[in-house]
Structure formats: C-alpha cells, structure tokens
Structure 1
Amino acid sequence: MRPLRVVDSITSLDARDAGCVAVSGSHGGVSSARFALASRPFLSMFNDAGGGLDGAGHAGLALLAAAGLAACTVSHDSARIGDAQSTLNDGIITHTNAPAAALGIHPGQRCTAVAALAQIEQETKP
C-alpha cells in the first residue's frame, strides 16, 4: 500500500516521500506543483483556491502531468485552504490532470475515496 502523507503545506514533502499519496492544504498553482515535482508523489492533492485569475489555483496540474505525475484539486468551498485534514475529510474533487483521470479520478469524487483508491492502486496493478 502506498503511504499517505497529510501535510498542510506541500513544502513539507521531500525525496523520501516519492511514490506517496500526498494530501495537502496548499493551492494547486505552479509554485506548489514545483515542490511536488521535486518530491514526486504518486498522487498530489491540492486546494483549488477558488480558481484564481486564469485558473491559477489549479495551473500546477499541467506541470505535474508533463512529468507523468497524477494530481487533482478539491473545491475551496468544500475544504479549508491550508488545512490538509480538511482536504482529506471534506474535500470534493474539482480538477484533475490526465494521469489522475487515467486512475479513474474525476470531479465530484470525495477526497477520502480518491486517497483510498490511489493507495491501493499499487497492489492492483502489475
């Protein structure tokens, strides 16, 4: 089973967290995605921060997709920004990148269900 890391800030991850399922309270912007890219979680979950100008609150998903890393955001209306436990317990998925969609993750799902799916993904695939 993949380890689950619940961190208020994605900056708390490091190379030892590679392959984990990372649930964060961070926004899903490019700056947050760069931290996730450095630590390489199997799946990174962020807050969409209300979208932001030109979709800035989820713009980092594309950066992670380019590296083949799954990522998604939860609605700022469903979970508190900066509070990873709220993301995990209350978050509803709003945006996914292509690697996340390939795992069966889609808008409307609960973060708890997505985290559980991603954790067992390793065991079910050869």
Structure 2
Amino acid sequence: MTAFTMRREVVEALGRRQVVAVDTIAHVRPEDEGDVIVTGSHGGVSSGEYAGRVRIAAVFFNDAGIGKDQAGTAALPYLETLGIAAGTVSHDSALIGDAQETWSCGVISALNRLARDAGFTPGEPARDAIRRVYGENAR
C-alpha cells in the first residue's frame, strides 16, 4: 500500500493575493488570510467550518456529486454569512481530494451570492475565473 500525502502549495500569485492549493481544507492556515483557496475537499458543512476559521478571500471545493439535500454545496451559504466568496467545481471535472485537479481541471458547478457578485460564473474553468476575478486587470 502506498502512503498518500496531503499536499499544500501556492499555485499562483495574483497581485497581493496567492492561490493556495490544499488537498484538505483542514490545512488552511492563519497566514492564508486574504488569499484564494482551492481544495479537493467536498463543499459540505464541516468543510465550510474549516474554511470559515480564516478570513480568506474565496474558496473552491469539490461538489462531490452534490448529494442528498445539496450536501456537497452546503458550505456555500454558510461562508456567505462570513463574507467569504465560495464555490464548488464539478466532481466530473476534478478528482475529489486533489487540490491540483480543482485548480487545473475544475469547472465551476455552484456559487454563493458573493462569488456570483464578484464575477464568477457556473460552467467556467475555476482557474480561468480566479485569474480573471483576482488578476492584475481585475476590477
């Protein structure tokens, strides 16, 4: 059996913000404040609680197939109450548990109001959207 290592790395710098890829949202750190997080974690309630511990600019989870009662996106409204833009990428576009997949292949499947207001759009590749919304030429 091969050991699985949870990865954490800065995948891009966008002006004063970094895009930090963490395989599990439990690896968000206080120094991530103001940054954009992409994670392989599902977008459920417990993931939202981890993400909400740090004042990040935005976070993108895996929708994990959405599930019963929208469980795979349940973090989104909670994070909205904390002022955090949040979304999910489709489990058909990115492997669950792999932040690099969320970053390189993920296609946005759901968004909270703050993310929509910031300019994110369902159906758009997450990486392209993050670069557009938070890049140098962002509004």
TM-score range, shorter chain: over 0.9
What is the alpha-carbon root mean square deviation over aligned residues? 1.3
- How far off is 1:118 after superposition? 3.8
Higher helix share: 1
Sequence identity (%): 44
Alignment check: 8 A CA contact 1:4 1:119 kept: no
Q: Deviations over 1:5-37 (max 9, x none)?
A: 011011111111011010100000110011110
The TM-score normalised by the length of structure 1 is 0.93
Stretches of structure 1 that go unaligned for 5 or more consecutive residues are none
The TM-score normalised by the length of structure 2 is 0.85
Q: 1:124 to 1:92 in 2, by over 3 A?
A: closer
Which of 78, 81, 101 lines up with 1:66 in the alignment? Answer: 81
Higher strand share: 2
Q: Which has the larger radius of gyration?
A: 2
Report the number of matched residues. 124
Q: Which runs of 4+ in 1 moved over 6 A?
A: none
Between 1 and 2, higher relative CO (CA 8 Å, sep ≥ 6) is seen in 1
Alignment check: 8 A CA contact 2:120 2:133 kept: no
Which of 54, 61, 66 lines up with 1:46 in the alignment? Answer: 61
Aligned equivalents of 2:138 and 2:94: distance in 1?
A: 29
Q: How does 1:2-21 map to 2 (within 5 A)?
A: 2-21=17-36
Matched letter for residue 25 of structure 2: I
Q: How does 1:1-126 map to 2 (within 5 A)?
A: 1=15, 2-120=17-135, 124-125=138-139
